[in-house]
């Protein structure tokens, strides 16, 4: 069951990446508005799901997470969402994915080592191989020499990667992943209040398509996807959770092949096989099999 949940969550992440790029890089909505709508719509969607669950079971949902952890998780969610949105304004999608997942990997590995859970040689090789495949994938899709570099966007995306890794680690072992995600989203809305002040300074740019993309990103691929991810984390350790996310660009590119009729090239296939091969090395763990 954990395997299915993991795959579903990763597909949601890939879908979210597509929605964000469509909204922000096509300037259908400004980053400030996108972040607010994304978090608010996610909170509303999870509230509706929670209420439906309560009516169906006729039982109150217990909260076993401390208030401090909830606020910290909510803040990390907000930091990730805000930095991610603003970074994509002047950053190529390929470079953005590279920076984001590099910082996720570094944070996850550092946390694992700090917790005295060192990586085996096979896992180190797997992480290096998977990340090398991601670098090659970015090169294949964009050409590193043609990537636009913006220092501010680079820093914001790096912060987003660290925040997302922290959000992931805080959710590991959640007794009720859906309810914890709901509380995270509702509390994260409080951090958007200062962003509302920007409406008084800058004119918001919200098109109808941009609004729909932000709602879809918040209510579906973010809220539901993150709840599933928190559930899947119960069957993963920190390193597995980190390296599995390197498959998101692969899933995104496969989606482009299916839905956008993009060309299948040998370098594209090779880069994806390298990533998947690296992930396989990390997942060769008896404990992972037992949890599934």
What SS3 class is residue 95? Answer: helix
Mean of all residue pLDDT scores within the chain: 82
Residue with tokens 């590099």: 102
Residue 284: pLDDT over 80: no
Give residue-wise pLDDT tens across range 208-224: 999 999 999 999 999 99
pTM given for the model: 0.86
Q: How many whole angstroms separate alpha carbon 160 and alpha carbon 104?
A: 9
Q: What is the pLDDT of residue 147?
A: 58
Give the number of domains in the chain. Answer: 1
Q: Could you tell me which of 289, 237, 275 has the C-alpha nearest to residue 14?
A: 275
Exposed, middle or buried by CB within 10 Å (0-12, 13-18, 19+), for 138?
buried
Cβ pair 256, 108 in contact under 8 A: no
DSSP codes of every residue in 152-175 = HHHHHHHHHHHHHHHHHHHHTT-S
List the domain range (segments joined by +) for residue 236: 2-291
């Amino acid at each position: 069951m954990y395997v299915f949940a993991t795959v579903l969550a990763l597909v949601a992440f890939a879908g979210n990446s597509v929605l964000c790029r469509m909204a922000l890089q096509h300037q259908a909505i400004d980053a400030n508005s996108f972040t607010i709508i994304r978090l608010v719509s996610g909170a509303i969607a999870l509230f509706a799901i929670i209420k439906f669950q309560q009516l169906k079971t006729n039982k109150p949902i217990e909260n076993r997470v401390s208030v401090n952890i909830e606020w910290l998780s909510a803040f990390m969610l907000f930091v990730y969402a805000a930095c991610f949105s603003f970074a994509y304004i002047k950053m190529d999608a390929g470079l953005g994915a590279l920076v984001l997942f590099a910082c996720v990997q570094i944070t996850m590995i550092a946390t694992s080592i700090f917790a005295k859970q060192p990586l085996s040689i096979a896992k180190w090789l797997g992480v290096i191989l998977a990340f090398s495949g991601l670098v090659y994938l970015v090169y294949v899709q964009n050409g590193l020499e043609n990537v636009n570099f913006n220092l501010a966007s680079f820093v914001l995306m790096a912060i987003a990667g660290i925040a997302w890794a922290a959000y992931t680690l805080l959710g590991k072992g959640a007794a009720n992943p859906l309810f914890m995600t709901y509380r995270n989203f509702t509390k994260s809305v409080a951090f958007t209040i200062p962003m509302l002040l920007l409406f008084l300074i800058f004119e918001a740019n919200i098109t109808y398509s941009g609004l729909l993309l932000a709602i879809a990103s918040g209510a579906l691929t973010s809220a539901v996807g993150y709840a599933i991810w928190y559930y899947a984390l119960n069957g993963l350790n920190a390193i597995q959770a980190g390296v599995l996310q390197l498959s998101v660009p692969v899933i995104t590119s496969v989606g482009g092949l299916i839905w956008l009729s993009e060309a299948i090239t040998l370098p594209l296939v090779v880069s994806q096989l390298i990533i998947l091969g690296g992930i396989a090395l990390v997942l060769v763990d008896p404990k992972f099999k037992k949890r599934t």
